[in-house]
Structure 1
């Protein structure tokens, strides 16, 4: 090989350029020198990395040592594959050491070259070859470092692509602030929070129910508040019942006769009664005396606040623990939709609802009960000074209805009362119904010898029942009683709307009749009773609510038509026992007709008994006859 004349790398560099080369591993771009002869380009083929083909294009080397270079590259490649993320910093430090050693060697060579300019040509060539090898080694280390960094970068990109959702979705932290998963504010839930987040598409209330409470959670529940203070709502029909409820509360709380009751005198004056209020010589049945005893005003509401050693009556609803009210009293404050003065936020946190004597509300106005239930446990429109940081999470989530306990007490079962359970009771623990099935009906209490004809209506749906009953009555029943021998007929109608419909029809047909309802004046009642007794009016329309509130004895009855089975079973025997013979042999002409359908199963059971009611509903015959009396 001939001698190659090449300017030594680093021999013409200034001290500043040498420091830059030592620190950065490359020459300063503003001081690059153009060599007289460009070094040939070196192309390196790498087996496993196609993206790194350009890494060796800028290598400037005079003598190529392929064996050492390949060995160095393979060594660096193995290190980059085996080491973790800390290998980057180690590679950089190795790179700086190599550059530093190379620079020091170049400085020493420069000094020796200046002192020994007249050395032999062979020694100079050996020094040049060694410098070239060192430069190639430095360049190869730089190339290997770039390969290792590229491989680490590629692996990082793959990991980033696979964990894209994890980078932008903080499962743990987001679960901490999730209302569905963070129910009691426990920050140390661990893996349960991640599971709750993953199952966020399930029913949140179901997740809430599946959460097991610990002792700390139970203690937390007792310390937090609700949106409003009122927790118990007791619905009673009359003021007398409210008086009894308050007296029971006082007796339970006043253990040592140290309980202070505020506004007690005012409460007794407004809710109590005096013997002078009762009409003299008024004789009524026992059930009437039990229901209408005392103050029977049905428009009232009162708040009761329970303190440690005192009870405050007439407390504002938003400061009361217990609210005692009638359906009408609540309806006048809830009012209708669109009224600006309506208010029902105090019902948002009711946890115990007690509906006492529910059967009496059927005689008052059942719509008031339905209207009340629709406005229970709704989100309040105003904060009312509540500290929301202490409100239960399920209360903020509008789940209060799932925790409300509803207690309904009634003298009997009725479809409208049963509808409360299916439409307005959502307690997650379920429902319990306790009822007494009557084995013998009230028909057994009829003392008069009387034939009872039960005629069944076949209808496809409950919605069609009122129309089907009306059509059957005017086409099949009424024509039989239009004759003169069928006068003195009393038509018992439980529902007021059916009463109005039938009254309007008889007026259009110009039928001679009288009518009595709960809204009739006393003079109208006396006149109708007199005309019916004398036979001047062959028909008398008689409503159930009038009989419930008045219990008047109607004289002159010879024929009975029950347009529908009565709500109270004893009303059936009461009406039948009103028949009183004026002359001997009148019993032979008495009749009683009852209309019923399969949707009246509960009412029919209370009248004829459970066994007979089942046979009458399932029988292929639509007409059934019963005869009562001493001689039957």
Structure 2
């Protein structure tokens, strides 16, 4: 991996396994430290050359362009404070004491760990109580608004450094956006030379607009000079070409159209870019369940939400509503938040059936009431957003019929929902129905569920 990083090309790791997360962080922080150290040595060497020339009364050397407009050169974007904790652990593994001193470590543990006396129910639960990926994602401090400047010197790592005096910034997209909008400029992002985005799959479950906002502010000409010595600034910064010399490293558990689009359209590195690719095998599901994949025609991605909604409301729901068995104990799983609101409004205005909803905004009290009402049969339909399941990961009892409005982004969610009917005693696979609505634009999600070969076969057969 270090050889790939040292190539200076943009790298997009599209399927980072859980067991490899920390080793990848350690490799990438070593690469980032190497970049910062080389930059510092170059600046110090040129400072000496300029001082010697001045002392000797000689003209200043001309080849001393070694800086950007501002000092920060590495940016790491993360979803939660707990991940800042993991990246600092990886970073300081390369700066051991007594050679290095880590300043403000106690403050960092206080602000980026759990409050004193708090119990982390995920981290302390018996193995198997919660899915591993959920424990990895949500144990620790899950605040999503933070920003942290880190200054590197020859003998120390200073946490909580001022942005314009630091070398590395660790932040969430939301935290950076709040800072930029408050200060009304993003000059501290003007000279980023190494950009790392970790857990992109989690960032898509937050607000992707914040990620796009940060990317749009990177490597722009600053509004203020910030005491920069323009004779020392690299020419491509002055020419407005800094984004072409920036290395971007993207890490995600799986791809989405948003992450692929970011890779395709926002990375301009002249050294080139690399995207990893792997074949997927079908996810495991309980034996005997008849999985009915329903394809609808769509010739343009802009028409996809409308075509999906039309097929769902005119082809799938009428069939379901005519069946006494399928019009009760039915979960509709909806990946997109926009689609979720639209389907919810349709159920409220048009169907006249009892239904409940579980979204990322549901309170604990609402969740308890809705789960009990669905399990007891008081509500016939339950609409579940993928974001709800991502953040809360509750098991839901009482399911006999599953309708996936689209394949879930997270393939494990598909497996989990197909296993939930068997939480109830006496349920046979023949008692469970499953429909998955998809189009050719669902390729990335479909591939993770049906496998690469299976997804290709599903798309080849065409709409029914």
- Is structure 2 residue 324 aligned with structure 1 residue 484? yes
User: In the superposition, relative to structure 1, how do residues 345 and 517 fare at CA in structure 2: closer, same or farther (>3 Å)?
Assistant: same
Unaligned runs of 5+ in 2: 1-45, 47-60
Among candidates 427, 432, 437, match of residue 595 of structure 1: 437
Look up the match of 1:494. 335
Report if the CA contact (8 A) 2:333-2:385 is conserved: yes
Look up the match of 1:160. none
User: In the superposition, relative to structure 1, how do residues 559 and 393 fare at CA in structure 2: closer, same or farther (>3 Å)?
Assistant: same
Q: Distance in 2 between matches of 1:228 and 1:515?
A: 48
SS for the counterpart of 1:311 is strand
More RCO (CA 8 Å, sep 6+): 2
Q: Distance in 2 between matches of 1:449 and 1:287?
A: 27
Q: Deviations over 1:481-503 (max 9, x none)?
A: 22432211000001111111111
Report if the CA contact (8 A) 1:554-1:578 is conserved: yes
Report if the CA contact (8 A) 1:413-1:435 is conserved: no
**Deviation at residue 260 of structure 1 after TM alignment:** 2.1
Q: Distance in 2 between matches of 1:325 and 1:581?
A: 40
SS for the counterpart of 1:491 is strand
Report if the CA contact (8 A) 1:560-1:591 is conserved: yes
- Is structure 2 residue 162 aligned with structure 1 residue 316? yes
- Is structure 2 residue 418 aligned with structure 1 residue 576? yes
SS for the counterpart of 2:422 is coil
- Is structure 2 residue 188 aligned with structure 1 residue 349? no
Q: Distance in 1 between matches of 2:149 and 2:427?
A: 61
- Is structure 2 residue 79 aligned with structure 1 residue 237? yes
Report if the CA contact (8 A) 2:409-2:445 is conserved: yes
User: In the superposition, relative to structure 1, how do residues 599 and 275 fare at CA in structure 2: closer, same or farther (>3 Å)?
Assistant: farther
User: In the superposition, relative to structure 1, how do residues 581 and 286 fare at CA in structure 2: closer, same or farther (>3 Å)?
Assistant: closer
Look up the match of 2:448. 606
SS for the counterpart of 1:536 is coil
**Deviation at residue 311 of structure 1 after TM alignment:** 1.8
Look up the match of 1:270. 111
**Deviation at residue 294 of structure 1 after TM alignment:** 1.8
Q: Distance in 2 between matches of 1:514 and 1:250?
A: 48
- Is structure 2 residue 173 aligned with structure 1 residue 333? no
Higher mean C-alpha displacement, 454-463 vs 258-267: 258-267
SS for the counterpart of 2:420 is coil
Higher mean C-alpha displacement, 563-572 vs 278-287: 278-287
Q: Distance in 1 between matches of 2:188 and 2:318?
A: 55
Q: Distance in 1 between matches of 2:375 and 2:101?
A: 58
Unaligned runs of 5+ in 1: 1-215, 624-632
**Deviation at residue 244 of structure 1 after TM alignment:** 2.1
User: In the superposition, relative to structure 1, how do residues 286 and 221 fare at CA in structure 2: closer, same or farther (>3 Å)?
Assistant: farther
**Deviation at residue 275 of structure 1 after TM alignment:** 7.2
Q: Deviations over 1:567-587 (max 9, x none)?
A: 011111011000127564653
Look up the match of 2:253. 411
- Is structure 2 residue 242 aligned with structure 1 residue 400? yes
- Is structure 2 residue 325 aligned with structure 1 residue 508? no
Among candidates 139, 143, 147, match of residue 297 of structure 1: 143
Report if the CA contact (8 A) 2:397-2:424 is conserved: no
Look up the match of 1:225. 67
CA RMSD in angstroms, aligned pairs only: 2.0
Q: Distance in 2 between matches of 1:451 and 1:408?
A: 37
Higher mean C-alpha displacement, 346-355 vs 323-332: 323-332
Q: Deviations over 1:34-62 (max 9, x none)?
A: xxxxxxxxxxxxxxxxxxxxxxxxxxxxx
Report if the CA contact (8 A) 1:305-1:319 is conserved: yes
Count of matched residue pairs: 397
Q: Deviations over 1:243-289 (max 9, x none)?
A: 222222222133x6131222121111111236733237683111111
SS for the counterpart of 1:490 is strand
- Is structure 2 residue 205 aligned with structure 1 residue 363? yes
**Deviation at residue 221 of structure 1 after TM alignment:** 6.6
**Deviation at residue 530 of structure 1 after TM alignment:** 1.4
Among candidates 306, 313, 318, match of residue 474 of structure 1: 313
Q: Distance in 2 between matches of 1:281 and 1:432?
A: 39
Among candidates 126, 134, 146, match of residue 288 of structure 1: 134
SS for the counterpart of 1:432 is strand
Mapping 1:24-63, distance limit 5 Å: none
**Deviation at residue 603 of structure 1 after TM alignment:** 1.1
SS for the counterpart of 1:478 is helix
Q: Distance in 2 between matches of 1:476 and 1:532?
A: 24
Report if the CA contact (8 A) 2:177-2:210 is conserved: yes
Q: Deviations over 1:300-352 (max 9, x none)?
A: 110001112122111111111000011111111123xxx7x322110000000
Mapping 1:550-569, distance limit 5 Å: 550-569=392-411
Q: Deviations over 1:447-475 (max 9, x none)?
A: 24210000111111000000000011010
Report if the CA contact (8 A) 2:77-2:170 is conserved: yes
Q: Distance in 2 between matches of 1:576 and 1:221?
A: 64
Look up the match of 1:451. 290
Report if the CA contact (8 A) 1:230-1:347 is conserved: yes
Higher Cα radius of gyration? 1
Q: Distance in 1 between matches of 2:399 and 2:162?
A: 53
Q: Distance in 2 between matches of 1:372 and 1:587?
A: 47
**Deviation at residue 566 of structure 1 after TM alignment:** 0.4
Report if the CA contact (8 A) 2:152-2:158 is conserved: yes
Report if the CA contact (8 A) 1:221-1:392 is conserved: no
**Deviation at residue 385 of structure 1 after TM alignment:** 0.7
> TM-score under structure 2 normalisation?
0.82
Q: Distance in 2 between matches of 1:303 and 1:584?
A: 57
**Deviation at residue 427 of structure 1 after TM alignment:** 0.6
